[in-house]
């Protein structure tokens, strides 16, 4: 069954009774759907844009152990993050990848220097290992030649992991759907149904098919992340969120090679910034600003954020002599942070929130690393209405074990990468590949076959879905991969079922989107954001 046929079949079945409706197709919503299906519930997820369109495809790509929570004394949160990271590394091998990290720190930073070293000492103990010795200036130069050569600079090692965040969402969703769950992208919730003062369903609008539906369920979860207050507004609930924007610059690993993640303090304000090797690139981020534009608009990095991040790069990594001409792409995401009234956005807590209002359970905030635990917290709030959830084991597996590719003539790292990203779909992906399509796209580790598979089977509605989330060519290649569009057309147009006019319209829309939101912005000033960046302490 094609993706479009499956979409039609599911839309026609919406009138059936559901146990659970989940609003939001990011990492939290996907995790709630997966765990709900594990408990045997008939569950439906709807997403107003594409799956992982929001924060869940725009992170720093780290599955981290929560080191920053130690500054607030939140040891239980750190323990949970370390435990969940370990689980994802084991079950998502090839998708979640171990990464050695270093804190670059100098004694002249005073108390911050000693605080950072002490924090990592405790953090390493919590991971179950004795803290390693710090790297001297000489050793640090050997490990990271591009880092500033400064006598007395230390490298304090600790463990992290990187991930393709959008692919993690998609794998969780597809495993949930294989287990009996249902999911629709580009379906907007236009209203909540209420009976006797309790939410009993949703009004839906299909932005692809221009149609609507009324769907009822025994329970509804609002897992829309930064949009959670918009859904809660249907109940006249007071806002709880503070949308914060985090932006990143992407460099080619050929110009900016790193084998370790590097965390360091920004020379202007002392905020932590990191440089992360990811895929075939190096990411630098992130900023932390109150996000003023409409949440329904594609977020963009501002000129001030570009200058702020480049200032950090030039100060800490002088030898490559990186300039704006070396930036391959940039991206911005808006985080759902629970507002506590802090003046400094960076001091807001990243803990998640679960609350029930008139029967609507809202879950928002938190981190990608703890997505499974957050989903269990949300489902725990529904046990009084869905008794079947009592059978859900909190310590069971999260990701399914993918099939082996031992008989496929691919290098072991390539097989591992495909198994991590595509799980149970990986044999079908390889079988669908035509001659030459198991080769990598130049400049990336992505195989041509991944594009064919995604176009055929992964609910692609727009070209941006394919190039920014199913695969990440829009971030990894200059000009969003524009030079490869003719080849992509040969691979994907028929799989998508698009005629020539449709393809050409989608290609124009994608390139306009990329140039507006993923290329470096113009140099016009934004005084309010400039002041906010200058105010970081």
Q: By mean pLDDT, which of 138-147, 214-223, 306-315, 505-514 is the weakest?
A: 138-147
Task: State how far the Cα of 463 lies from the Cα of 511, in Å rounded to an integer.
Answer: 10
d(CA 99, CA 161): 5
507 alpha-carbon distance from chain centroid: 24
**CB distance 389 to 39 below 8 Å:** yes
Nearest to residue 337, comparing CAs of 300, 361, 368, 367? 367
Q: Residue 534 has what pLDDT?
A: 46
Our separate counts of H helices and E strands in the chain read 17, 16
Confidence of residue 150 (pLDDT cuts 50, 70, 90): confident
For the chain, the first-to-last Cα distance in angstroms comes to 55
* Cis upstream peptide for 114 (omega within 30°): no
Beta bridge partners of 206: 187, 211
Most confident of 66-75, 390-399, 413-422: 413-422
Give the least confident one: 65-69, 70-74, 256-260, 287-291: 70-74
Confidence (pLDDT) at 108 = 85
**pLDDT tens digits, 487-527:** 999 999 999 999 999 999 999 999 999 999 999 997 433 44
Read off the pLDDT of residues 475-489 as tens digits, 9 standing for 90 and up: 999 999 999 999 999
pLDDT at 535: 45
**pLDDT tens digit sequence for 238-279:** 999 999 999 999 999 999 999 999 999 999 988 899 999 999
Please, what is the average pLDDT of the chain? Answer: 92
At 120-137, the pLDDT tens digits run 988 888 888 888 888 888
Buried b (16+ CB within 10 A) or exposed e, 3-29: beeebeeebeebeeebbbbbbbbbbbb
The tokens describing 241, both together, are: 């969120």
More confident residue, 4 or 368: 368
Q: Contact at 8 Å (CB) between 276 and 260?
A: no
Coil, strand or helix: which one is 518?
coil
CA dist list (Å): 88 to 279, 373, 469: 18, 12, 20
235 and 358 in contact (C-beta within 8 Å)? Answer: yes
Do 147 and 96 contact (CB within 8 A), yes or no?
Answer: no
User: Which residue reads 């698009």 in tokens?
Assistant: 498
The predicted structure's pLDDT at residue 529: 46
Which of 225-234, 339-348, 514-523 has the least mean pLDDT? 339-348
In this prediction, residues 362-372 reach a mean pLDDT of: 93
For residue 323, give the DSSP letter. Answer: -
What integer is the mean pLDDT of 142-167?
Answer: 92
C-beta separation of 271 from 536 below 8 A: yes
Under the phi-then-psi rule, with left for phi > 0, alpha for psi from -120 to 50, and beta for the rest, what region is 383?
A: alpha
pLDDT at 478: 96
Residue 347, pLDDT score = 58
| Residues in Cβ contact with 262 at an 8 Å cutoff, skipping those fewer than 6 apart | 101, 102, 104, 144, 147, 274, 275, 316
CA dist 484 and 501 (Å) reads 19
Least confident span in 157-171, 204-218, 346-360, 410-424? 346-360
Instruction: Report in angstroms the alpha-carbon separations of 239 from 232, 233, 235, 338.
Output: 8, 8, 11, 10
């Amino acid at each position: 069954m094609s993706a479009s046929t499956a979409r039609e079949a599911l839309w026609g079945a919406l009138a059936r009774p559901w146990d659970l409706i989940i609003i939001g197709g990011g990492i939290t919503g996907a995790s709630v759907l997966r765990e709900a299906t594990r408990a045997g519930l008939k569950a439906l997820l709807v997403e107003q844009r594409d799956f992982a369109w929001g924060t869940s495809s725009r992170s720093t790509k780290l599955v981290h152990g929560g080191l920053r929570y130690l500054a607030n004394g939140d040891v239980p949160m750190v323990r949970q993050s370390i435990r969940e990271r370990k689980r994802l590394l084991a079950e998502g091998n090839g998708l979640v990848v171990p990464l050695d990290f270093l804190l670059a720190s100098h004694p002249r930073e005073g108390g911050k220097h000693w605080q950072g070293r002490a924090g990592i000492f405790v953090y390493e103990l919590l991971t179950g290992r004795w803290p390693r010795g710090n790297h001297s200036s000489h050793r640090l130069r050997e490990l990271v030649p591009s880092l500033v050569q400064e006598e007395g600079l230390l490298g304090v090692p600790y463990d992290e992991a990187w991930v393709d965040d959008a692919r993690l969402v998609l794998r969780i969703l597809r495993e949930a759907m294989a287990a009996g769950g249902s999911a629709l992208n580009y379906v907007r919730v236009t209203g909540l149904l209420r009976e006797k003062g309790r939410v009993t369903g949703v009004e839906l609008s299909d932005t692809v098919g221009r149609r609507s539906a009324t769907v009822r369920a025994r329970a509804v979860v609002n897992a829309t992340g930064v949009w959670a207050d918009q859904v809660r507004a249907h109940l006249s609930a007071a806002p709880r969120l503070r949308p914060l924007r985090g932006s990143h610059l992407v460099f080619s690993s050929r110009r900016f090679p790193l084998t370790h993640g590097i965390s360091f303090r920004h020379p202007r304000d002392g905020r932590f910034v990191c440089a992360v090797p990811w895929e075939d690139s190096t990411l630098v981020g992130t900023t932390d600003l109150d996000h003023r534009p409409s949440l329904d608009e594609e977020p963009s990095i501002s000129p001030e954020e570009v200058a702020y991040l480049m200032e950090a790069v030039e100060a800490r990594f002088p030898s490559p002599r990186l300039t704006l001409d070396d930036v391959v792409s940039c991206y911005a995401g808006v985080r759902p942070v629970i507002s506590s009234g802090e003046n400094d956005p960076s001091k807001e807590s990243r803990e998640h929130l679960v609350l029930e209002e008139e029967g609507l359970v809202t879950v928002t905030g938190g981190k990608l690393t703890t997505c499974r635990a957050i989903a269990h917290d949300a489902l725990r709030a529904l046990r009084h209405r869905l008794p079947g959830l009592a059978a859900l084991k909190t310590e069971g597996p999260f990701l399914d074990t993918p099939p082996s590719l031992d008989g496929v003539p691919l290098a072991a790292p390539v097989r591992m990468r495909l198994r991590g990203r595509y799980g149970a779909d990986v044999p079908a992906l390889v079988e669908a590949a035509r001659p030459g399509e198991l080769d990598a796209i130049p400049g990336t580790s992505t195989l041509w076959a991944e594009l064919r598979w995604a176009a055929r089977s992964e609910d692609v509605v727009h070209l941006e879905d394919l190039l920014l989330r199913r695969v990440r060519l829009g971030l990894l290649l200059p000009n969003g991969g524009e030079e490869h569009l003719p080849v992509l057309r040969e691979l994907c147009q028929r799989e998508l079922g698009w005629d020539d006019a449709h393809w050409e319209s989608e290609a124009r829309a994608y390139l306009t989107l990329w140039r507006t939101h993923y290329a470096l912005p113009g140099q016009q000033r934004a005084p309010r954001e400039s002041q906010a960046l200058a105010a970081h302490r």
